């Protein structure tokens, strides 16, 4: 499989009468975008805002962040299975707009507690220390504030919110369709010297992603093998709304830093053999062991000698992570784990609820429990309060890093790490 990613470097976003990309400026027809989103009858209102780095703006109730993208060839959906038929991707040519982020938010403050339980607070500060904690405070952001129709269910609303982000990202990406990219990168697993170490990337997921539109939390979902190009080309997308720093948003999925780092070393220092994705296991230990064995079986079919393993969420899924590590090691597949360490506010608490002696190589992407102090902002977008506390969004906040989107991302798409002292 061979895919070319054509990159356009965006500088900032402006509203205009026509959506277009000119000299790095993304001009957006606000009314046309609004009309596109409100075609979905479950979305009553779709307000659109712009926030730039340095603006004293706090974006709250964040659901997902996406990169404006458009599939050039072969013709099809930019997010197959989520938009359109679940055809394959990872081949042909795709355009992406770098430096610009589409941020979808849920304005559901007047709705029932059921909505608030489904959407954990996640914020992006565009100025101050919060902007330095995660990657998205440094980008030009186009923000969707989406309000549900009063009679729709939480299930209907969840689906509509997810699709709204995909539609808007494809709509914006289409502005690049007839333009020449600033940079073209080709991704292909070319033949590598047989003496190079064979490395597989294992992603232990929870119910956080959809693969070609199929959620990994389905009981029928079993661990599956993907070509790394499929991850870079829109096959995997975010559907999780839990704590911000644990969310692998769609922007992260399509710019997976592990995939890109392995590609950069492929056929030079190592042989990147593929990606194995494991979904949500059952709550009993035997099911988790079975799922881990299946992952290792796929890694073995690839002839993997080494594995990089990332994961999401905490608690129960930590057991899946550790069992996968243990069974890889016992099958002579050497592992490195990408983790975040739940160390409590001071960093001294036990970081994991479950460990195995084989887990000896770990890379930490930060402490989700660390306390951060965020200053007051002049403008709030997405809502007026913080969901869990009801505190006004404009006020100074004292919160954990888990509230800040991307602060301790376990795939490494973040700005934090943990040091030993």
User: For strand 214-215 and strand 69-73, is the pairing parallel, antiparallel, or unpaired?
Assistant: unpaired
Give the mean pLDDT of 192-215: 88
pLDDT tens for each residue of 383-410? 898 887 889 999 999 988 888 998 877 7
Distance CA 278, CA 63 (A): 23
Coil, helix or strand at residue 335: strand
Any idea where the domains of the chain sit in the sequence? 2-403
Give the mean pLDDT of 307-320: 84
A 10 A CB-CB count for 187 gives 19
Return the minimum-mean-pLDDT range out of 31-40, 322-331, 359-368. Answer: 359-368
| Predicted confidence (pLDDT) at residue 238 exceeds the cutoff of 60 | yes
Residue for token digits 């959620």? 215
Distance CA 45, CA 390 (A): 22
Walk across the sheet containing 271-278 and list its strands.
Answer: 224-226, 271-278, 198-204, 306-311, 334-339, 362-364
Distance between alpha carbon 384 and the CA centroid of its chain, in Å? 25
pLDDT of residue 139: 95
pLDDT of residue 258: 95
Distance CA 396, CA 373 (A): 7
Give the mean pLDDT of 206-212: 78
**What is the chain's mean pLDDT, rounded?**
89
Walk across the sheet containing 43-51 and list its strands.
Answer: 43-51, 140-148, 100-106, 62-66
pLDDT tens for each residue of 105-163? 987 655 555 555 567 889 999 999 999 988 999 999 999 999 888 777 777 888 888 89
pLDDT of residue 406: 85
Nearest to 82 by CA among 253, 242, 206, 246: 253
Return the minimum-mean-pLDDT range out of 17-21, 255-259, 287-291. Answer: 287-291
Contact 88, 410 (CB under 8 A): no
Contact 223, 307 (CB under 8 A): no
Give the mean pLDDT of 73-100: 90
Return the minimum-mean-pLDDT range out of 13-17, 303-307, 336-340. Answer: 336-340
Nearest to 118 by CA among 420, 388, 393, 408: 388
Here the tokens at position 365 are: 């992407």
Distance CA 236, CA 247 (A): 13
Confidence of residue 245 (pLDDT cuts 50, 70, 90): low
pLDDT of residue 381: 95
| Predicted confidence (pLDDT) at residue 299 exceeds the cutoff of 70 | yes
Higher pLDDT: 59 or 340? It is 59
Give the mean pLDDT of 203-216: 79
Confidence of residue 292 (pLDDT cuts 50, 70, 90): very high
pLDDT of residue 344: 76
Confidence of residue 207 (pLDDT cuts 50, 70, 90): low
- What's the burial of 201, exposed, middle or buried (CB within 10 Å: 0-12/13-18/19+)? buried
- DSSP letter string over 10-22? --EEEEESS-EEE
Return the minimum-mean-pLDDT range out of 23-27, 69-73, 118-122, 127-131. Answer: 118-122
Share of the chain above pLDDT 90, in %: 61
């Amino acid at each position: 499989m061979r895919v070319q990613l054509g990159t356009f470097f965006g500088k900032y976003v402006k509203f205009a009468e026509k959506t277009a990309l000119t000299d790095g400026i993304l001009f957006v027809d606000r009314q046309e975008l609004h009309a596109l989103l409100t075609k979905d009858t479950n979305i009553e209102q779709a307000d659109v805002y712009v926030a730039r780095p340095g603006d004293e703006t706090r974006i709250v109730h964040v659901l997902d962040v996406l990169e404006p993208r458009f599939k050039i060839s072969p013709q099809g959906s930019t997010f197959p299975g989520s938009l359109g038929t679940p055809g394959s991707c990872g081949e042909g040519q795709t355009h992406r707009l770098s430096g610009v982020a589409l941020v979808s938010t849920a304005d559901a403050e007047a709705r029932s507690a059921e909505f608030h339980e489904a959407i954990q607070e996640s914020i992006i500060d565009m100025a101050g220390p919060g902007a330095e904690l995660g990657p998205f405070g440094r980008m030009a952001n186009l923000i969707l504030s989406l309000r549900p129709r009063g009679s729709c269910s939480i299930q209907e609303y969840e689906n509509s919110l997810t699709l709204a982000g995909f539609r808007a990202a494809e709509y914006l990406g289409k502005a690049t369709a007839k333009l020449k990219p600033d940079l073209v990168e080709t991704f292909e697993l070319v033949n590598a010297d047989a003496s190079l170490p064979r490395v597989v990337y294992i992603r232990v997921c929870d119910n956080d992603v959809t693969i070609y539109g199929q959620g990994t939390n389905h009981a029928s979902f079993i661990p599956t093998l993907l070509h790394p190009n499929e991850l870079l080309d829109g096959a995997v997308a975010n559907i999780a709304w839990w704590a911000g720093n644990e969310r692998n948003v769609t922007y992260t999925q399509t710019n997976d830093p592990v995939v890109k780092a392995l590609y950069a070393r492929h056929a030079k220092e190592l042989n990147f053999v593929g990606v194995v994705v494991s979904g949500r296991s059952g709550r009993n230990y035997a099911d988790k062991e079975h799922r881990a064995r299946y992952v290792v079986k796929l890694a073995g079919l690839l002839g993997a000698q080494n594995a990089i393993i990332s994961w999401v969420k905490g608690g129960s899924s930590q057991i899946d992570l550790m069992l996968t590590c243990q069974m890889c090691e016992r099958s002579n597949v050497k592992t490195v784990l990408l983790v975040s360490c739940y160390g409590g506010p001071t960093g001294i608490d036990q970081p994991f609820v479950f460990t195995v002696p084989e887990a000896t190589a770990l890379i930490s992407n930060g402490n989700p429990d660390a306390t951060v102090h965020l200053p007051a902002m002049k403008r709030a977008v997405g809502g007026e309060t913080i969901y869990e506390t009801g505190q006004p969004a404009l006020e100074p906040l004292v919160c954990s890093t888990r509230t800040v989107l991307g602060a301790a991302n376990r795939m490494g798409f973040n700005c934090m790490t943990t040091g030993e002292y």
